[in-house]
Amino acid sequence: MSTFSFVVLAGSGDQALLTALAGSDPPVRCEGLDALRLRQDGASDAGTAPVQIVLTAEAWPAQGLAALNGPVSCVGELPAAVPPQTWLDQGLTGWWPRTVLQDPALLRRALQWDAARWTHEQALRTAQQQQRRQLEERIWVDKAKGVLMNARGISEDEAFRLLRGASMHANLRLGDLSRSVIEAAQWAEAVNRAGQLRMLSQRLVKLAAQRQAAVEVKRARAAQDEAARRLQDNLAHLAGLPMLEAQPAALRDALQGAESAWAALRQSLAGKPGLPLLAEADARAEALLQAAETLTAALEAGGARGGLRIVNLCGRQRMRVQRLAKQALLAGLLSQPERLALLPALMDDFEATLRELEQAPLSTPDIRETLGAARDEWLRLLRALRGGPGIDVQGVLAASSDALLDLFHRLTDSYERSLQLIMS
């Protein structure tokens, strides 16, 4: 006999089936389908002691029996119009003609065949699942090695040793650790790209103001086109992230808000250049800035990694330096000197964040060197803002803000690829 206990579904109305199984060891139980499902869901039988379901064709439930744990044997005439695959999909393991009820020993042997077939199929399914997990693990490990090799410029063997050592230290499977590394890199890139939206909202208007002020017009036009392409590319990248599907609706709503704000700003920038349209574009850039701030904060919270805060902080410096140059340019172009009153607070925030980055433990020699160059360029911009004989304030603002932008691009990318963040 099989090691399964028999359960005859109540309601079959077939006393011959119960009689044929009389004397089975263990004894036959007669249960309703709902009670059986509930008991197996409670894990008293499922996963530990599978049961063999036996029923007549007339008692086959409309919803099938595929979710139950164990072989399902059916006795009687099955409808010829139903394809065999349909019965298999619904959980049927074996079908036997009603004549087996006339010979209890034959019925028990038939049920043993069904139990053996089900056990064999379960073993094959388990082996396939294990092979699939091993293949998926190799894929995750290869991807994680690529992330580490790109982040630190190390060899494939060094990347693998790093992963293996970290998995042992964290008591995680190598595949799980590798997947976490990939996810950390994806979250860091997402925060970086969302942070760029803040900067680009201010940069686009700053460049439009440069063109209006006739400051390096040709270069400003080309830079404005490039900034618009980058903004659109970042939004498309963020919208395509599969990890967003598992995040709260508020994060997806924040992304939609940024997309809507960009559509409005793009419309203003496409209009005929002039001071009225420049003022309109600036107002819409402010809306995009706020939407991008909301999105970046949501991504930082969703990633749940402390290092993402540094990526966010550094990325915000890119926005501040563009905003600073924009406000100074618009103050003169739009005859709005009140904009100059906003600069001290903006400069204080920039200075405070720069000091925090200089003191942050998430650092490397390259990061410290770039921070030093950013400090020097920041002092140059401050001297230009103070004015003085022979200083081309607008020219220095344009050049220095772009130089700082490049430096903080490099810094944010370095933080994004930081080994400490990726392996956190």
Q: What would the pLDDT profile of 203-214 be if each residue is shown by its tens digit?
A: 999 999 999 999
Residue finishing a domain among 100, 126, 152: 126
Domain boundary among 126, 154, 174: 126
Three-state secondary structure call for residue 315: helix
Length of the chain as a residue count: 424
pLDDT number for residue 45: 43
Residue 69 lies in a domain: yes
pLDDT higher at 292 or 362: 292
Residue 108 and residue 23 share a domain: yes
- The closest of 262, 321, 335, 341 to 295, measured between CA atoms, is 262
In a domain, 158, yes or no: no
> What does the alpha-carbon distance between residue 94 and residue 123 come to, in Å, rounded to a whole number?
17
Residues 261 and 408 in one domain: yes
Are residues 207 and 112 located together in one domain of the fold?
no
Sequence-distant contacts of 300-307: CB under 8 A, at least 24 apart: 300/191, 302/187, 302/247, 302/248, 302/251, 303/184, 303/187, 303/188, 303/190, 303/191, 305/184, 305/187, 305/188, 305/421, 305/424, 306/424, 307/188, 307/362, 307/415, 307/418, 307/420, 307/421, 307/424
Residue 172 CA: distances (Å) to CA of 12, 23, 70, 232? 50, 50, 32, 38
State the pLDDT at residue 306: 64
User: Does 172 map to a domain?
Assistant: no
Judge if 109 and 188 occupy the same domain: no
Residue 120 predicted with pLDDT over 50: yes
- Within its chain, how far is the Cα of 157 from the centroid? 28
Q: Evaluate whether residue 173 is within a structural domain.
A: no
Same domain, 256 and 383: yes
Please report how many Cα atoms fall inside a 13 Å half-sphere around the Cα of residue 312, on the Cβ side: 20
User: Does residue 159 fall inside a structural domain?
Assistant: no
Residue 267 included in any domain: yes
Inform me whether the pLDDT recorded for 193 exceeds 60.
yes
Same domain, 288 and 403: yes
Cα angle, residue 22 at apex, residues 17 and 26 outer, rounded to 5°: 115
Phi, psi of 293 (to 5 degrees): -60, -45
Tell me how far apart the alpha carbons of residues 102 and 266 are, in angstroms, rounded to a whole number. Answer: 82
Residue 11 has what pLDDT? Answer: 58
Q: Read off the CATH number of the domain in which 117 is found.
A: 3.40.50
Average the pLDDT over each of 6-15, 111-120, 347-356 and give the range with the smallest value. 6-15
Instruction: Label residue 47 by pLDDT band (50, 70, 90).
Output: very low
Q: What is the mean pLDDT of residues 162-169?
A: 80
Please say which residue of 91, 126, 161 terminates a domain.
126
Q: Is 46 exposed, middle or buried (0-12, 13-18, 19+ CB in 10 A)?
A: middle
Higher pLDDT, 348 or 8: 348
Task: Report how many domains make up the chain.
Answer: 2
Rounded to whole angstroms, the Cα distance separating 341 from 354 reads 21
Is 154 domain-assigned?
A: no
Asked whether the predicted pLDDT for residue 417 surpasses 70, the reply is yes
Same domain, 401 and 284: yes
Residue of 364 and 299 predicted with greater confidence: 299
Mean pLDDT over the full length of the chain: 85
Query: Can you give the residue range of the structural domain that contains 106?
Result: 5-126
Whether the predicted pLDDT of 307 surpasses 80: no
**Looking at the structure, do residues 398 and 302 belong to the same domain, yes or no?**
yes
What pLDDT sits at residue 43?
A: 47
- Could you tell me the pLDDT band of residue 385, with boundaries at 50, 70 and 90? confident
Whether 135 maps to a domain, the answer reads no
Q: What percent of the chain has pLDDT over 90?
A: 38
